[in-house]
Amino acid sequence: MNIMKVAVETGTTGLWYGRFIDLIGTHARAQTLEQLLDELKEEVIYHNTWLKRHSEPTIKISGLKIEVAELVRDVELLGESGGSVACFKYDLKPVDEQIIEKCLCYMDFNRQDLLELIKGISEDKLNYTPNGKKRNIIQILNHICNAEEWYISRLGSETDIIYEQNLGIPLDKSDELSVYERMNIVRKACKKTLKETLIKKDGIFMRPEYTQYPNEQWAARKVLRRFLEHEREHIYNIRWYLGMNIRAFP
């Protein structure tokens, strides 16, 4: 039997989030734990296809049994902008240059998928906000940039300085760029900053600035996985906006 362990969180919004511990970047969400486990079965199939699509070694998924290895409850505003996310025990495992490079590579794959997804979409579709949603696609793309800058900020005020140096222009000027220019410049600066600083971050750290949850715990591995999970979640959102199966490539 092929047992794969997952880390699960739930909280004040009623949502359930999960990911495979050994497959960084995987992500699923649902309204109940039972639904989440079903979504995770679909997620691992998608992830295998995603790895193959990007010429990466695939994994064995036959005879799969999912085991919840970590469960964190009472996560404040899970799934909402400005909400918190759990820091799992496995997040405390130190990162090395190999895992950092792997995640930077996976970030490139996600961005490739995202840009292919929105290529050629009409302005009307890019600016359409479905009923019950807070953002249109252009706003989602800017939100991804905002989130990535925020993840960098969790690494400390000294990292803010390094990030701005890597950005090459003032933050307010970056915000004024077209969304596609901004996505490019922010991502490049984030990758360079992660590569320069993340290996030096050990254990748990917290930062009270720019958050309503100053005691939220972070770790190097959590920062990396959130870059990957968050973009994948919004790739799924955009596919849904476009009437696609969320785990179907264009």
208 is written with which tokens? 């009270």
pLDDT band at 53 (very low <50, low <70, confident <90, very high): very high
**Helix axis angle, 157-167 relative to 137-153, nearest 10°?**
130
In degrees, to the nearest 5, what angle opens at C-alpha 96 toward C-alphas 18 and 236? 30
Of 64, 86, 108, the position where a domain reaches its end is 86
The pLDDT assigned to 246 comes to: 97
How much is the average pLDDT of 98-103?
Answer: 98
Give first-to-last CA distance, the chain, whole Å: 33
Q: If you average pLDDT over residues 104-118, what whole number do you get?
A: 98
Who's near 44: CB < 8 A, 6+ residues apart?
A: 4, 20, 23, 26, 59, 61, 64
Domain check: are 108 and 49 in the same one? Answer: no
> 158 pLDDT band (50/70/90 cuts)?
very high
pLDDT attached to residue 206: 97
Q: What is the pTM of this model?
A: 0.97
Give the domain-ending residue among 86, 102, 117: 86
Does one domain contain both 80 and 156? Answer: no
Instruction: Note the pLDDT of residue 250.
Output: 82
1 pLDDT higher than 80 = no
* Residue 151: closest CA among 197, 111, 112, 182: 197
Which of 23, 58, 86 is the endpoint of a domain? 86
- Determine the structural domain holding residue 27 and report its residue range: 2-86
pLDDT, mean over the chain: 97
Q: Look up the CATH number of the domain holding residue 15.
A: 3.30.2390
Average pLDDT over residues 148-175: 97
Task: Report which of residues 249 and 192 the model is more confident about.
Answer: 192
CB 10 within 8 A of CB 16: yes
Alpha carbons 34 and 130: distance in angstroms, whole number: 27
Whether residue 205 is contained in a domain is answered as: yes
Predicted confidence band at 224 (pLDDT cuts at 50, 70, 90)? very high
C-beta separation of 148 from 229 below 8 A? no
Cβ neighbours of 163 (radius 10 Å) = 23
Q: Residue 178's pLDDT is what?
A: 96
Residue pair 23/61 in contact by the 8 Å Cβ criterion: no
- What pLDDT is attached to residue 162? 98
29 & 141 share domain: no
pLDDT at residue 54, as a whole number: 98
Do 137 and 114 share a domain, yes or no?
Answer: yes
CB 91 within 8 A of CB 222: yes
Sheet holding 64-75, edge to edge: 28-30, 16-20, 2-11, 64-75
Residues 49 and 138 occupy one common structural domain: no
Structural domains of the chain, count: 2
For residue 135, pLDDT over 90 is answered with: yes
Give CA–CA dist 66/80, Å, rounded.
26
Flag whether 112 is in a domain. Answer: yes
Give the tens place of pLDDT for each residue, 2-42: 999 999 999 999 999 999 999 999 999 999 999 999 999 99
pLDDT at 215: 96
Q: Is residue 250 part of a domain?
A: no
